Structure 1
């Protein structure tokens, strides 16, 4: 992957929001002042984050700063803001540990207007950080896609009320923008490119993903629910008004990673999640399939886990190109069917081993010109002798669409 200079970032963001917009500042909040660039900048910054008072703003100066160790923030109500995502650059290429660039474990935090580069681990991680906002940030890894890159770019987990907007992430060896085991989420007007997964919503409830550009990833947008985690039963995600295009980057995830099985060239993948609505998106030139619906394929011990996608609604999307060069697990299937897959692909799994057959309730309300195939796998573990592909669309009434997500920090 070649680094895309700021001008290209601005061109991408221009379709979403002004590249020069600044994150709003609360004039009434106490200020911690600008972190000094004199002396040891990393020590100055970490000290400022430790000594900050709730409600204060920690300002980063303009400059390109080399840091060797990760940063942490555990004070509630802090705004950490730079001089601009192109002006304040925190460079971790010389990082000695394997951790994230910045770890946030406090509530009511806003991160805005700076860049993080080349961390050994994740770019920015927040855990148990309610009402967190990521705004006008760039998180990236230099060079070509590489499994040694950090796993996640922007990585909030186990949180409520997560807002991610006007963020650019590229080069993550797992997911560029990832939200896991969380509730009430908005990901909007952001760019995810050259990652394995562009945007991923995992084991989470009530998410709106809209106005984004997911391009040049292995898979554009993923909505997963995985077993044996503290929070399962992900549901109620709306994916709309996104540009999901040219997601044909080779899969460079480390072996054993769950996204290592994502076929290069997939636009949206829905796995084992419930009440997912995909509408008014533009899909273009995703070489394997624009939309893939699949059950979780591995053994699991969680008795409460449902491995099958259900209550999925696809409506009003536009599709062009794609499906002509299926990769990964889809390649042998496509070869048996003439080498080309239609826009929408379902694995057709409705049960696991001896489990009961759930109601999948998949509703496809696209124009009749939009192709569909049910691979007819039936159950996992798969029995090749019983596979029965079909182009017959499922006959299901669409599940009711979830309400729009409203976040308290978005109302200020």
Structure 2
């Protein structure tokens, strides 16, 4: 049997298959940062870089550029990567390779973003905690968990607190699942931006400025975000004052926003619990700032908001003129707000688009004033005729069978 096993191993090596992976163990102590980065550089596909329980004080960020590697700790709150004294690199951990799993650890007080992947395929962030100590501050890092320009992204059982832009942010990416996570005390809890095919479900999003945002912005390498499902989330008590640095797009998000869709297409919002959001349960708006991106459409299109469980919302609107408008419609804004924009200028000409906004609850149309324009008087949102069929729901996101960490 030993001879057979040896022949099998030799055959695998000759065929180019990687042998069973190694475990590269890192323990707390002097020079832990150097030892950790050396392990991430020396790792081979199939290896695991494992941080033992304890607190690690790093002065620079870590990076991984080897595919097929697992980076793991002993558990959230047990393995703590502390970047409070970080003086270089913009992230706590930067991943630029494929088939990577990061799990079971805490990252705190990074100078910039907590964990970032860029240009990665099949990247999984699982059972993580990312936070900034103390009260929310503009000086905190922008993003907690931050995949960008990536495909086949899985984020699950992640907790993020204190991000000055978005706790969980996925940008310019494709085929995304964000589930069973907690985002609290960030400017935006969860943000899907300029991305295609995303499922966001089973999350608790509370005490942020805005709960869940689905945006599409101009002047980026990838535009035309579409096909997002936001469902079975708890979006509650988003009441943290906006602490984003001036000039950030999320700096205009009114405190007390539940779920906001801006300039994105084919977004379905359903079966969520939405309560305790002072400005509005749902906002559907156009991107209203000047832009020069050819082919960019600033309007929200084919947006369906249906079958959600609503508590008290719209009781303290924080956008300019919001309280006066609320008083004019009975003291509380209805759950659905749409800015009513169905045309824009491009290339010197006016373009009109049938945007197809569908609410199944009371809604009004008004300019929200969130981009510097004064709010207009509220009027009832147009209702689709009974024969109108809402745009079809996007299909569920299916990740590859070899997605790291995917439950079988």
User: Could you say whether these structures have the same fold, taking a TM-score greater than 0.5 normalized by the shorter chain as the test?
Assistant: yes
Q: Does 1:342 align with 2:337?
A: no
**Corresponding residue for residue 383 of structure 2:** 393
Change (3 A) 1:325 1:98: farther
Change (3 A) 1:125 1:86: same
Trace 1:129-208 onto structure 2 (pairs within 5 A).
129-208=120-199
Deviation at 1:231, TM superposition (A): 0.5
Trace 1:324-403 onto structure 2 (pairs within 5 A).
324-329=315-320, 331=322, 334=325, 337-338=328-329, 339-353=331-345, 354-364=349-359, 366=360, 370-375=361-366, 389-395=379-385, 396-403=388-395
> Paired residue for 1:36, among 13, 24, 27?
27
Q: Does 1:261 align with 2:252?
A: yes
Kept in 2: contact 1:288–1:330 (CA 8 A) = no
Change (3 A) 1:29 1:243: farther
Deviation at 1:29, TM superposition (A): 4.3
**1:139-191 CA deviation, whole Å, 9 max, x = no partner?**
00011110000000000000110000000001000000000000000000000
Trace 1:4-403 onto structure 2 (pairs within 5 A).
29-97=20-88, 99-329=90-320, 331=322, 334=325, 337-338=328-329, 339-353=331-345, 354-364=349-359, 366=360, 370-375=361-366, 389-395=379-385, 396-403=388-395
Question: What RMSD over aligned residues (CA atoms) do the two structures have, in Å?
Answer: 2.0
Deviation at 1:86, TM superposition (A): 1.4
Kept in 1: contact 2:262–2:286 (CA 8 A) = yes
Change (3 A) 1:44 1:247: same
Q: TM-score, normalised by structure 1?
A: 0.88
Deviation at 1:230, TM superposition (A): 0.5
User: In 1, Cα distance between the equivalents of 2:250 and 2:320?
Assistant: 12
Consecutive unaligned residues in structure 2, runs of 5 or more: 1-18
Larger Rg: 2
**Corresponding residue for residue 14 of structure 1:** none
Change (3 A) 1:95 1:202: same
User: In 2, Cα distance between the equivalents of 1:159 and 1:174?
Assistant: 19
Kept in 2: contact 1:363–1:397 (CA 8 A) = no
**1:62-112 CA deviation, whole Å, 9 max, x = no partner?**
001111111110000000010001100001111113611111100000000
Consecutive unaligned residues in structure 1, runs of 5 or more: 1-27
Q: TM-score, normalised by structure 2?
A: 0.89
Deviation at 1:330, TM superposition (A): 6.0
Partner-residue secondary structure (3-state), 2:39:
helix
Partner-residue secondary structure (3-state), 1:70:
strand
Change (3 A) 1:259 1:98: farther
Partner-residue secondary structure (3-state), 1:99:
strand
Deviation at 1:363, TM superposition (A): 1.6
User: In 2, Cα distance between the equivalents of 1:62 and 1:333?
Assistant: 54
User: In 2, Cα distance between the equivalents of 1:157 and 1:176?
Assistant: 14
Kept in 2: contact 1:251–1:264 (CA 8 A) = yes
User: In 1, Cα distance between the equivalents of 2:51 and 2:132?
Assistant: 21
**1:267-306 CA deviation, whole Å, 9 max, x = no partner?**
1000000000001000011010000000001000112011
User: In 2, Cα distance between the equivalents of 1:387 and 1:229?
Assistant: 33
Partner-residue secondary structure (3-state), 2:350:
coil
Change (3 A) 1:29 1:358: farther
